[in-house]
Structure 1
């Protein structure tokens, strides 16, 4: 491998390339568009398109695509060639500013939640100049937004950009109050830590549940799981290390700042973490990361599983969303400095986040709600479904001092002494980390830990940006009218802390006592499942806030509510139908086959000597016969439950019925099948077991 700086971003039309390829006036105009939102002139677009085409063609690209993120959870692309006919019968390579700026994909086949009828096909993609174009294979990829003929957002990028603009607008108002008149813009930045599992492709292909649903619907607990805690941060196995090396190389070519890699808690589980960057770029990069994880795995004879809970009994996979705000001057607005008690600007932005999480805890829960994540949240590997904030002792002490009006002495620095002279001495951080908190302050950013591993990070950041923008707006409205800024500021801080401190919890989020306290004493929300929380997207306060900042229209919110519930229903029903098929066509015949062998063996023994007891065969045969009956009965019950819910016309009611009936029947069928697995000879079992899947990659 070459030196990383030599090839990092070599497939990206980034600022270095633009500065080299574009005329200076065009480059400066484009930078103003990117940084200040200045309107893009068509002459600039034409010049950029021409340079982009020449650069891409020189690297072997023959096609371009408007790359967008529809409401399917994955990306979409339609490839067009650069070729145009020439008068002499040949072709020339052309790419215009118009083609760069706008595309026209068919919008009727993507989820729209009622925004578009099937016969209304026209949709548009619009270039996002703030996210760099890149080359994959022989194609130039142009990040774009996606909207309908009527202008409604049919993607995740458009509302994300709107939310970033909303926060920028309100944050600038606050900064002006503190005398920061030279700040041009405020951007949110994100670094999403990505967890995933690696298994062999050979075993993956033998499991219909993995191929159809991304998770195992059956599987008895293996003799060893994660009990020994020996996989976490353990030595990376050679095959996995080779995969990680190739993955890093592919991501670095695309300008993705992949930095950290390690084994996670569960066997076969790993993590990749990037350096954080501007939110919409981080969102594009995370989509690319998930895609590349799966493509590179295939080259190594592996499969990368991104489901939130691919295996029962071991940790599932999340995606920790490290979020912060920074100015164009490079100032992190969530950095407390050496004396946070005296840093009024930091404290006001901190309070905005605290109030935002408290006031809109439902939106944050909605932003991570999927059928897959429902299996993960609340288990002893992920935050509970109750949203709370961890601040740590130092900031908690600062806020208590402000609320009560008492002096704050400051946290004392403690030097760590490890008792070995050769080891370095260093200062201990003034606060610990809390890995059980859904929303934890980690020094100069917040880590939102509820996201599932397959989620787009766009949804969570849309809600977070919007909620914080709303709170900053409330503060700016109040402080701009104040006669005495210092007094009004202090009162704003004190009242916010008093009114929203219920959301702050620095203890063990896994403790049942906390969940009881959170709901019964503090009045926090506990939406355990997707059907519980999604309908609250349309609560009056949420619609009012999101529409007032022009992040969504009411019609767009209604469409997303419909799409999210529909996706939940379809996901669970596909799983249920897969379970029925596997139980009937694979598991039951396997159990029956082994039972027949036992019966044959017992009969053969009796034929030799009628006094032989055949106790092993007889008792095991009885147990398997009972389980065979249970598998048949539970399969029929699940089938009936699936058929019943499919006749329900209301999607919200259908989702609730699926949650209350289908999931329970799935669980009962699994218990019978998993019990049968523990008693059936391995040679009869029709697909790889957990032992095979979790410990096969060397």
Structure 2
């Protein structure tokens, strides 16, 4: 049974100093305990002989398969380290298409047939496990009689020990595939896309530096979230079941004053943040930044940049840690993209770049970007890739919850555009206007570009209305939702840029084989790419109606609704892109598409059912109760012989309440009937579209009338925690 509104508020007010949980931070510097729960290079060296370590490390760095003997060596070292740290169990930790992580724990403890009791963990249990895959989303990749799934060790992401209370478990990052080897997770496509991009990028890098032998993607995510008191959270069925408030009148004070943004962090929240950061640092998650965000009760943390696969694992682990740590502080984390109407939602900005083994950031412009041909090559190719495959990039961040942000004048619009800033716009415009196919023209343009100002002062001006912005030495994908697995947009980015670099290199070799100078050939191609992709570049206000109209004239798609956006995944262009790159088979791509449609449907089903129960069981009884009080009062006034005009206010309120009660009941009945009809649709995408176009508008109508009742009904009668309490009670 959930707490009532006033029970929840009393619970908070009766706490002594909010029972602040002060954090027992390990002594010394962060660097003294950073990564202490990670089976990293330092740990491996401590539990392996030098020759074993060198052999295993070399195989991991090169991507080569470990021999059975080396796998046994790793397993033995991993077990001894984990048990020395107090771990009793191990698990293959993976990322199914639910969007969060999964784990099945097994004990090191083993009872042999002879009766001997021992602890075992060998190469077989390290490298592969067989969890039942029947209940994970599969999009038709496996039937009930083929429910078996396999998890396989990912040596490129280090194992770690997860502490839950007094229990400690060794977690081994893994991929998750079907019995037939098809991807059932986010990690395997990401790893394949990274390999594809590297294969395409190395030949291009070697045009400028033959020493480049490795290219990897770096990711720096920024995680936004809300914190609410657990008592208030438990008194809201919608927060409990859906992660967002399906009802709630706007608070008179919201974020209008911008006084929360970058303000002093409340003491209770500060204690939570320190605790969370400590847990992150022990697990090797390099978080550095914390601050208040725009919305009341909204916050953000961000780490240093890492290799993309590790960064994704760390973000998935972080979301689990955030929940666990919040419980210790009698708080709840809201990761939903839009937990409160009328208040800014939460995103997860993905800062994407490419680096080489020679220490070069391929998207670093340097002091003279106009003369930095390597930078221009990767910069322009990335922009063209986004232009060519904007619809697939949009689909990668599509979800029922993220639809509340995209296009809502608080987050990037659902129109994909690229912001690069005034300085780099001038550079690209100069190349487009001044370069001719002959070598003399190329040299002349390079001389001209030497006058372009450098980027020592950041001239990119982070345009917060842009979904894809260049911010100094990286591209910031601002449209990713706060609940999402970063792997989805990262997989798309890696694949489309890899494909674009392949095309660029092939064209370049053709020109050079015909005798064209390297620089002249590069600039010839870049000039065409700049011209062809120019429609996607936009420097203005992405929130404006004028931009929507201009984007339509440019031929840019605007797909604010997930069911429409998802169709990009099954387009001919997407199938050709992903199958030729080896990132997805056509069957895997269609399965992922099916799962995303199913996730959309199920989330709206849960929300619609929750909303219906809340208004019938909570809102309407409260409204009727207050209406009865008003009627009794009006009747007593009449019995006293007072004129009817003296009860005009009560009678008007009674009428208004009756109107809204009837509107709510009619819309709930209609919503239930429509939902039943929609559930009969067999095609997943058509069902998702029906939920979007038919069910969602009825949910919004119910909310409108319920929020009107919140304004009309006596505060003492209203059963749900109000916005002013959720966001401002600390």
State the TM-score bracket (shorter-chain normalisation). Answer: over 0.9
Q: Deviations over 1:80-100 (max 9, x none)?
A: 111122576341111101111
Residue 517 of structure 1 corresponds to which residue in structure 2?
550
Cα distance in 2 for partners of 1:310, 1:598 equals 33
Choose from 561, 571, 575 the match for 1:543.
575
**Structure 2 counterpart of 1:681:** 714
Which of 134, 137, 142 is the equivalent residue of 1:116?
A: 142
Aligned to 2:64: 38
* Matches of 1:182 and 1:411, distance apart in 2: 29
The change in CA–CA distance for 1:663 and 1:327 in structure 2 (over 3 A counts) is: same
1:538-588: CA deviations, max 9, x gaps?
A: 111111011111000000001011111111111111111111111111100
Is 1:52–2:78 an aligned residue pair? yes
> Which residue of the partner structure matches residue 285 of structure 1?
314
Shift of 1:596: 0.7
Tell me the equivalent position of 2:408: 379
Matches of 2:386 and 2:114 in 1, distance apart?
64
1:630 and 1:339 map into 2 onto residues whose CA distance is: 64
Change (3 A) 1:413 1:149: closer
Deviation of 1:204 after TM superposition, in Å, equals: 0.8
Q: Distance in 1 between matches of 2:458 and 2:304?
A: 21
Match runs of 1:60-139 below 5 Å? 60-86=86-112, 89-137=115-163, 138-139=168-169
Residue 5 (structure 2) aligns with: none
**What residue number does 2:608 align with?**
576
Match of 2:418 among 372, 384, 389: 389
Moved over 6 A (4+): none
Say if 2:274 is the partner of 1:245.
yes
Partner residue of 2:636 out of 597, 604, 607: 604
- Give the Cα separation in 2 of the matches to 1:52 and 1:560: 34
Matched ranges for 1:44-443 at <5 A: 44-86=70-112, 89-137=115-163, 138-178=168-208, 180-405=209-434, 406=445, 407-408=448-449, 410-412=451-453, 428-443=457-472
Q: Which residue of 2 aligns with 1:24?
A: 50
Does the 8 Å contact 2:369/2:452 carry over to 1? no
Q: Which of 508, 522, 525 is the aligned partner of 1:492?
A: 525
Does the 8 Å CA contact 1:411/1:430 hold for their aligned counterparts? no
Q: How far does residue 315 in structure 1 lie from its aligned partner after superposition?
A: 0.3
- C-alpha separation between the residues in 2 aligned to 1:118 and 1:125? 18
User: What residue number does 1:650 align with?
Assistant: 683
Q: Write the distance in 2 (CA, Å) between the matches of 1:183 and 1:22.
A: 30
Asked if the contact 1:49/1:96 (under 8 Å) is kept, the reply is yes
For 1:130 and 1:89, the matched residues in 2 are separated by 38
Q: Find the counterpart in structure 1 of residue 622 from structure 2.
A: 590
**Conservation of the 8 A alpha-carbon contact between 1:394 and 1:410:** no
Q: Secondary structure at the match of 1:684?
A: coil
Q: CA deviation at 1:381?
A: 1.4
In 2: Cα distance, 1:24 partner to 1:395 partner: 49
- Equivalent position SS for 1:371: coil
Deviation at 1:177, TM superposition (A): 2.1
Partners of 1:232 and 1:263 within 8 A in 2: yes
Aligned residue pairs, count: 683
Determine helix, strand or coil for the equivalent of 1:614. Answer: helix
Helix, strand or coil for the counterpart of 2:476?
strand
Distance in 1 between residues matched to 2:52 and 2:526, nearest whole Å: 45
Paired position in structure 1 for 2:14: none
The separation in 1 between residues aligned to 2:65 and 2:386, in whole angstroms, is 34
What is the 5 A alignment of 1:552-567?
Answer: 552-567=584-599
1:417 is matched with none
Q: Deviations over 1:335-368 (max 9, x none)?
A: 0111111111111111110111000101110010
SS at match of 2:217: strand
RMSD of aligned Cα (Å) = 1.4
State how far apart, in whole Å, the 1-side matches of 2:238 and 2:569 are. Answer: 31
- Residue 493 of structure 1 deviates from its aligned partner by 1.0
Q: Is the 8 A contact 1:127 1:144 kept in 2?
A: yes
- Which residue of 528, 533, 546 maps to 2:560? 528
Aligned counterpart for 1:617 among listed residues 650, 674, 694 = 650
How far the C-alpha of 1:428 sits from its partner, in A, is 4.1
Structure 1 Cα separation of the partners of residues 460 and 700 of structure 2: 42
Shift of 1:411: 4.2
1:453 to 478, 482, 500: 482
Q: Using a 3 Å threshold, how does the CA distance of structure 1 residues 544 and 87 change in structure 2: closer, same or farther?
A: closer
The 8 Å contact of residues 412 and 430 in structure 1, kept in 2 or not, is answered as no
SS in 2 for 1:84: strand
2:238/2:244 contact within 8 Å kept: yes
